[in-house]
Each structure stands twice: as C-alpha cells, then as structure tokens.
C-alpha cells in the first residue's frame, strides 16, 4: 500500500485542534496555495544559504586571522563538525519521514533549525577572548556544531517537502527554480552583506558579531515565514511499516544506505554533487584570502563580487529554466559546471590591485554558472528520488534528502579540511589582529591554487561522473503515472 498525499489545515494555536485535508496522490496544489508553496520553497533556502554562506566565506579566515587558530587546526575543526553533522543527516531524514505531529512531518524540524542556526552564528563570530588557543578551539567547535545542526534541520525537510509537493516533474523544476532564487538571495545576504559590513567597521571582533546578529535575524525571520507559508502544502504520510524501523536506528541507517546505493541515478548524481560542492566550497573560502592576500583588496571588493554573482544567478535563472526544457537538465548541468571551472581558472591571470571591472565580470559569469548548477543539480536529484518511488511504491523523500545533505556536508568538510591543511603545510601564518600576517611565496601559491586550479579540477570530475547518468524524464513520468494509478 502506498502513501497518501495530504495537506494540513493550519498550524494550531494553543487551543486549536489540527485538521488534515486529504487529497488524491499526485494531485497538484492550485491557485493561491501554489504561490504560497513556491514562496515558502524560496524562503527555506534563503534562510539556510544566508546562515551557511557567511560561515563558508568568512568562518575559516575569522578563525585564522582573528582567533589565531592555525589554518590546519581550523580546517580540521570544520571537517570534524561537518562529519558529525553529515552523519546526523540520514537520521534526521528518516526521523522526519516517520514523525507525527500536529504540524505535520517536516515543519517542526524547520522551526528548530531556524533557531539553532542563528545561535551558532552568534557564538562563532562572538567568540570571546579566552586567553587560550585550546579553549578557543573547543568553543568554536561547539558553536559550529550548533550552527551545522540547525543547517541540517532546515535543509532536509525543505528538500523533502519540494519532492513530495508535486508529482509533475515540470512543477518540481519550477519549485527548484524558486529554491534557487531563494538560495541566490540567501547567498547575497550571507556573503555580500557581511563583507560590506566588515568594510565599514573593519575586521574587528565587534564587526564580526554585528554581521552574525544581522544574518541570524534574517535566518530566523525567513524560517518563521516559510513555516507559515507551507502549513497547507501537500505532504505524504509515512507507511505504518516504518514504525518497525524506529526500534533500531542502526538498522534504519543501514537500510537507508542500501536504498541510496541501489538507486543508480541517485548514486551517480551524488558523486557529481560531491565534486561540485568540494569545488565551490574551497573556491568560496579561498576567495576571502585571495582578495586580501593576493590582490591586496579590501573586504568591500569581496562583497561586490558576491553581489554581482548573486544578481546574475537570479537574472540567469530564466535562461537556465528555458534551456533545461529544450536541451535537457543534464546538458545544462554539464555546461554550467564547465563555465564555472573556466571562471575559476581565470583567477590565475589576476594581479595585485585587480580592476573592479574584471572582478565584477568574473562575479557575473560565476553567478550565471552557479544558478545553472544549483537548478539542474537539485532538479535531477528530485527526479532520482521520484525514481525510487516508482520503483518501490514507498515514500522515502526524507531519507534521500538526508543523504543529499550528507554528501553536501562531507564534500564541504573535505574541502575546508584540505584547504586548511594545505595552507598550513605551505606555511600560512595565523594572526589575532583581524588582519592577515605577511605571507610567504608558498602560502600565496597555495591560496591561488585553492581559488583556481583545484575548483576547476573538481568541476571536471563532476562532468565525467554525469556522463554515466541515463535516467530519461519522459520514461520516469510514464512510470510514475502508472504507480499513481495503482495507489
């Protein structure tokens, strides 16, 4: 027996009795509810992208240049936290699949994540001077763990809700476009705004705390709005048999690993996704060092670059949606990866005092490529998750969402750890002043490679992996229609 697609009535107030409105499996929301779902789908990535990007772009540099933590130790801290959070993802995904609450399966997780992520930001960038490097390392590890847990609670149910909101692959692509818009706005808030604030206040402890409070408030407000907008979104119900899995978490985790590995389209996309995230994470983190150390430019330039990238990501989304309908999502995905890799390689030609025109052009090209990568990656992943449904008849969106974010975390962990260890091995000198210390030639070379050749190589590996992806959207739709007819 397959699950039913339902929509919850309202989020209960203190004395409300929750109501559930049933609708046929595969039905589409209409009218104003469609737009509420789209706006709600936008607000979730806006929240987690804002909270995540500020840490990805400035977190490592804050630890090395403001807390005097060595680059190698900072990278390992990021890696440990990401690994912890990554293995939390499948558990949260399975938990959200079988959760039964008055708010439905997903919304309580969203709300909790919207609280935890701002708390982690405030603790990280407001870290006090403890007079001990070891204590500082312990404190930022705890702060990053809280922040990363909030990220997991936001991303997993958010992705699962999009997958289960519609059986129409074109509507799912549109929802992914809305998510990409939200991700673009969140990136703008989480990367451009903090860099501009630091340009005004200087890289002081107070300036970092201010940016954390501003971004944290945005995360909280966006999450609350998303919960309200999505309270009527269609959602699938867990099968009664999932209660058996609840008794043994290890059995549940092993089962999830097997189902993810057995889904060949998902497996191939996951491999490509790991390379994509590795390249983008190391490129974003390295850019904060690159503009300061190699180009000798202020943080306001860093903010302007991310602003240009975000604007083009939004403006170019219509082009990618149109192209994906003509030449296919896979072809667009590979083209966007290639463009992003070329932009990263172009940094090898940059010189101290680089013109803002050239920096802005790179930002525009990077943003256009990034929009295509985000849209096509998640649109294809949603197809792979629907493929699991037509093959098994079971609704396991949360489990696959958990593994998607698991790959995100592990690849980001590998990127930041590798970068930190690489910088440390190449002689990067930490500082407690908020400004970079004078760096040697080997450290500068390491920063240049992290910003150019390494991300480009990661994009090439992702393209190679995608060559093995064979899932046909038309065939998937036919199979899904047959599955829905049986439900």
* CATH numbers and ranges of domains, the chain: 33-236+249-479 (1.20.1250.20)
Residue 311: alpha-carbon gap to chain centroid? 18
What pLDDT does 397 receive?
64
Q: What are the tokens at 95?
A: 């938990």
% of the chain residues with pLDDT over 70: 76
Average pLDDT of every residue of the chain: 80
Asked which of 135-149, 169-183, 259-273 is least confident by mean pLDDT, the reply is 169-183
Span 198-232, pLDDT tens digits: 888 888 888 999 999 999 999 999 999 988 887 77
Q: pLDDT category, 16, cuts 50, 70, 90?
A: very low
pTM of the model: 0.72
Highest mean pLDDT, choosing among 60-64, 127-131, 138-142, 242-246: 138-142
What pLDDT does 77 receive?
92
Span 164-197, pLDDT tens digits: 665 566 666 677 778 878 887 898 899 888 989 9
Is 70 exceeded by the pLDDT of residue 337?
yes
Q: What is the mean pLDDT of residues 68-80?
A: 89
Is 80 exceeded by the pLDDT of residue 240?
no
Q: Which carries the bigger pLDDT value, residue 4 or residue 307?
A: 307
Q: Which carries the bigger pLDDT value, residue 84 or residue 47?
A: 47
What pLDDT does 414 receive?
81
What pLDDT does 394 receive?
67
């Amino acid at each position: 027996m397959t699950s039913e697609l339902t929509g919850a009535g309202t989020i209960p107030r203190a004395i409300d009795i929750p109501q559930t409105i049933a609708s046929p499996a595969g039905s589409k929301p209409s009218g104003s509810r469609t737009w509420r779902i789209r706006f709600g789908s936008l607000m979730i990535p806006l929240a987690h992208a804002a909270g995540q990007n500020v840490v990805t772009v400035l977190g490592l540099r804050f630890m090395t240049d403001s807390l005097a933590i060595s680059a190698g130790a900072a990278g390992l801290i990021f890696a440990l936290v990401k690994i912890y959070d990554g293995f939390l993802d499948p558990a949260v995904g399975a938990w959200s699949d079988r959760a039964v609450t008055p708010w439905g399966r997903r919304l309580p997780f969203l709300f909790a994540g919207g609280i935890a992520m701002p708390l982690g930001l405030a603790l990280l960038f407001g870290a006090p001077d403890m007079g001990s490097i070891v204590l500082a390392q312990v404190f930022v590890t705890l702060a990053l763990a809280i922040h990363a847990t909030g990220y997991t609670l936001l991303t997993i149910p958010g992705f699962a809700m999009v997958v289960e909101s519609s059986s129409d692959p074109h509507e799912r692509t549109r929802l992914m476009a809305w998510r990409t818009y939200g991700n673009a706005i969140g990136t703008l808030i989480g990367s451009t705004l903090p860099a501009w604030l630091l340009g005004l206040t200087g890289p002081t402890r107070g300036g970092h705390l201010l940016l954390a409070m501003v971004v944290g408030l945005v995360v909280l407000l966006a999450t609350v709005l998303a919960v309200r907008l999505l309270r009527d979104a269609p959602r699938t119900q867990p099968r009664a048999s999932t209660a058996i899995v609840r008794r043994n978490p290890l059995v549940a985790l092993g089962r999830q690993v097997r189902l993810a590995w057995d889904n060949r389209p998902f497996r191939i996309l996951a491999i490509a996704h790991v390379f994509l995230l590795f390249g983008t994470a190391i490129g974003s983190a390295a850019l904060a060092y690159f503009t300061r150390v190699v180009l000798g430019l202020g943080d306001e330039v860093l903010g302007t670059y991310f602003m240009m990238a975000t604007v083009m990501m939004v403006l170019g989304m219509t082009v990618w949606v149109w192209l994906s309908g003509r030449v296919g999502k896979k072809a667009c995905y590979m083209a966007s990866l290639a463009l992003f890799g070329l932009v990263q390689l172009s940094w090898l030609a940059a010189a101290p005092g680089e013109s803002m025109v050239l920096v802005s052009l790179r930002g525009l090209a990077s943003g256009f490529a990034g929009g295509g990568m985000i849209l096509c990656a998640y649109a294809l992943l949603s197809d792979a998750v629907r493929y699991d449904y037509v093959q098994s008849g079971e609704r396991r969106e949360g489990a696959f969402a958990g593994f998607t974010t698991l790959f995100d975390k592990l690849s980001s962990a590998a990127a930041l750890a590798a970068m930190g260890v690489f910088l440390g091995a190449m002689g990067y000198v930490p500082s407690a002043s908020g400004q970079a210390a004078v760096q040697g030639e080997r450290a500068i070379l390491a920063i240049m490679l992290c910003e150019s050749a390494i991300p480009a190589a990661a994009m090439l590996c992702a393209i190679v992996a995608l060559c093995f992806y064979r899932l046909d959207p038309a065939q998937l739709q036919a199979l899904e229609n047959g599955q829905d007819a049986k439900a």
